[in-house]
């Protein structure tokens, strides 16, 4: 079994013998159906089972696996939410149905444990406690529930003893470091517009040209960036700050100066291609550790040599309280 599962610390294994770390869940193709209702599990399983039966995927000649998961952030005030169900299909499979979608699952590293439908919530609590002791943290790929074959499937809400395997996505822990930024003087430029990418490029061009024009050494100054974040908006804004000395004097039509108040942060290094995943990871870390979030400004510290790209890396700074 060592071929499939990672060897864990003995102390952790003795405390959580039921949780295994699957080295790699290989990629596979699936036929997918998503239902939105107050009982979407039953609805999704019913539709996909009928489709799979009609298309002779349940004949027993082919091995198949069944996965499901709640659609993220789909819960409504009236109790309506989404649930998606997958059945694995051959690599060259073609679907001729408008309701059913063909998807490719990329696989990944997972912690796996067996539980029942009635114990899903408590099993997730157990996963979170296990994470605190392990060398892993929660990954950003898809959480999964693996279900028994369709023939054994019953009503989701009435059969709480139905067994499932629960898959929690993992990744190696990236170092997180606390940092306190004291109030500091910065030169800054902020702009807004309907096109978020164009607005960001404009602000970057203004600030990098300003730094070059004023002969600043990039190794002596920090570049901080922030914007509207992940909020949906029709007006995008972008601001970049460059730290400067208290006695530094300049005049510019666009760039102004102010005091950035700073604060306490939890920081983590990433790269610009994986910023979304890094912020998502920080959010998961906060929820897992129940860390108090502070109201001071979140920022990204961009590491750029000689005021020109490519960027060497980015540190995300998540505001925390006492």
User: Residue 202 — pLDDT band, cuts 50, 70, 90?
Assistant: very high
Phi, psi of 58, rounded to the nearest 5 degrees: -110, 25
Q: How far apart are CA 233 and CA 230, in angstroms?
A: 9
In this structure, the answer to whether residues 100 and 61 fall within a common structural domain is yes
Q: Is the pLDDT of residue 46 over 60?
A: yes
- What mean pLDDT is predicted for residues 244-272? 95
Q: How far apart are CA 135 and CA 271, in angstroms?
A: 22
In this structure, the answer to whether residues 44 and 166 fall within a common structural domain is yes
Domain boundary among 150, 172, 194: 172
Domain boundary among 132, 151, 172: 172
| 2 assigned to some structural domain | no
In this structure, the answer to whether residues 40 and 55 fall within a common structural domain is yes
The least confident of 44-48, 154-158, 205-209 is: 154-158
pLDDT of residue 286: 87
| Residue given tokens 């983590």 in the structure block | 268
In this structure, the answer to whether residues 127 and 21 fall within a common structural domain is yes
Q: Which two tokens stand for residue 160?
A: 């709480």
- Residue 133 · residue 162 · CB < 8 Å: no
pLDDT of residue 250: 95
pLDDT by residue (tens digit) across 284-303? 888 878 899 999 999 999 99
In this structure, the answer to whether residues 139 and 214 fall within a common structural domain is no
| 118: Cα separation from own chain's centroid | 26
In this structure, the answer to whether residues 233 and 313 fall within a common structural domain is yes
In this structure, the answer to whether residues 151 and 226 fall within a common structural domain is no
pTM exceeds 0.75, yes or no: no
In this structure, the answer to whether residues 168 and 181 fall within a common structural domain is no
CATH of the domain at 297: 3.20.80.10
Task: Spell out the alpha helix ranges (H) of the chain.
Answer: 10-15, 40-54, 120-133, 196-213, 275-289
In this structure, the answer to whether residues 77 and 182 fall within a common structural domain is no
Q: Which two tokens stand for residue 174?
A: 């990236």
In this structure, the answer to whether residues 166 and 190 fall within a common structural domain is no
* 56 φψ region: left (φ > 0), alpha (ψ -120 to 50), beta (else): left
Q: How far apart are CA 67 and CA 171, in angstroms?
A: 21
User: Residue 2 — pLDDT band, cuts 50, 70, 90?
Assistant: low
In this structure, the answer to whether residues 217 and 245 fall within a common structural domain is yes
Q: Show the beta-strand stretches assigned E in 7-80.
A: 20-25, 28-37, 66-70
Query: What radius of gyration do the chain's Cα atoms show?
Result: 25
Contacts of 163 (CB under 8 A, 6+ apart): 114, 115, 116, 148
Q: How far apart are CA 82 and CA 76, in angstroms?
A: 10
Contacts of 28 (CB under 8 A, 6+ apart): 65, 88, 104, 105, 107
In terms of residue numbers, what domain contains 39?
A: 10-172
How many of the other CB atoms lie within 10 Å of CB of 69?
16
| 1 assigned to some structural domain | no
| 155 assigned to some structural domain | yes
- Residue 242 · residue 256 · CB < 8 Å: no
How many structural domains is the chain composed of? Answer: 2
In this structure, the answer to whether residues 190 and 146 fall within a common structural domain is no
Domain boundary among 172, 207, 226: 172
pLDDT by residue (tens digit) across 155-197? 555 567 788 899 999 888 788 899 999 999 999 999 999 888 9
| 19 assigned to some structural domain | yes
| 3 assigned to some structural domain | no
């Amino acid at each position: 079994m060592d071929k499939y599962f990672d060897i864990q610390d003995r102390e952790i294994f003795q405390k959580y013998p039921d949780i295994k770390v699957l080295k790699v869940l290989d990629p596979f193709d699936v036929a997918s159906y998503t239902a939105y209702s107050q009982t979407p599990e039953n609805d999704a399983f019913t539709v996909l089972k009928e489709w799979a039966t009609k298309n002779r995927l349940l004949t027993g000649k082919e091995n198949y696996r069944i996965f499901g998961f709640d659609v993220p952030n789909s819960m409504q005030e009236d109790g309506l939410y989404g649930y998606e169900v997958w059945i694995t299909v051959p690599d060259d499979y073609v679907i001729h149905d408008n309701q059913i979608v063909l998807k490719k699952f990329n696989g990944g590293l997972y912690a796996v444990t067996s539980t029942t439908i009635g114990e899903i919530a408590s099993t997730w609590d157990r996963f979170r406690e296990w994470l605190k002791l392990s060398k892993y943290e929660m990954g950003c790929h898809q959480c999964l529930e693996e279900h028994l074959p369709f023939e054994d499937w019953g009503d989701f809400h009435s059969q709480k003893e139905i067994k499932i395997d629960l898959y929690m996505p993992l990744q190696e822990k990236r170092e997180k470091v606390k940092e306190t930024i004291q109030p500091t003087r910065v030169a800054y430029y902020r702009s807004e517009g309907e096109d978020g990418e164009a607005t960001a490029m404009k602000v970057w061009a203004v600030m990098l040209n300003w730094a070059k024009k004023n002969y600043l050494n990039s190794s002596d100054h920090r570049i901080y960036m922030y914007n509207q974040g992940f909020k949906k908006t029709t007006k995008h804004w972008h601001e970049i700050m460059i730290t400067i000395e208290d006695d530094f004097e300049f005049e510019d039509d666009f760039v102004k100066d102010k005091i950035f108040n700073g604060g306490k942060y939890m920081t983590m290094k990433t790269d610009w291609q994986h910023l979304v995943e890094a912020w998502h990871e920080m959010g998961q870390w906060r929820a897992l550790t129940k860390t108090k979030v502070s109201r001071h400004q979140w920022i990204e510290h961009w590491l750029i040599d000689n005021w020109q790209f490519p960027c060497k890396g980015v540190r995300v700074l998540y505001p925390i309280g006492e």
